Amino acid sequence: MAKPETTTTPVIPTWRWLCKHPVCWLGFGFGTGLASKAPGTFGTLPAIPLAACWLLLDLPFWYSIVLAVLLFLVGIFICDYTEKALGRQDYGGIVWDEIAAMMLILFCIPTGWIWWLAAFAVFRFFDAVKPWPIRWFDARVHGGFGIMLDDLLAAVLSLLVLSLAGYLIV
């Protein structure tokens, strides 16, 4: 796919625009990033059925880690492409990063609605608040890699909190 020309006038994304730009459709989390309120929260939701379907395959754990790495690497391209096509830097509707990060978390925690609900809440907290070091990287690393990196860091912090919770509860 050809690189998009960086738009000088920022685009206001719509369903019609996403249908004309399939990579951007992925960047917008299959359209969930178009939500007018809390696009990051809505954009995280597709990770739940996607991870559930993947885990139903009952593959070895390392397959899930390989998939998470691939989602991250492909996400760098998807987010960079979408950002340039929009003509806006780190636009809130670009939510592929949320999907990839949430899937990583779901692959690494026990399967069950309580754990998955806790994972969703903890991840959304870290992604929204952006404590150090997330905020530091978010301010300094840009483009597709920067978009993906802050969510990867939020996923790592979420996994640390969930691991601690699991240790204290069990």
Res 9: pLDDT: 86
What residue spans define the domains of the chain?
15-169
Res 101: pLDDT: 99
Res 24: pLDDT: 98
Q: Enumerate the H helices of the chain as residue ranges.
A: 15-20, 22-27, 39-44, 47-56, 61-86, 96-108, 113-129, 134-140, 143-169
User: In this predicted model, what pLDDT tens digit does every residue of 113-150 receive, in sequence order?
Assistant: 999 999 999 999 999 999 999 999 999 999 999 999 99
State which residues of the chain have pLDDT below 50.
none
The pTM of this model reads 0.93
Res 4: pLDDT: 64
Res 90: pLDDT: 87
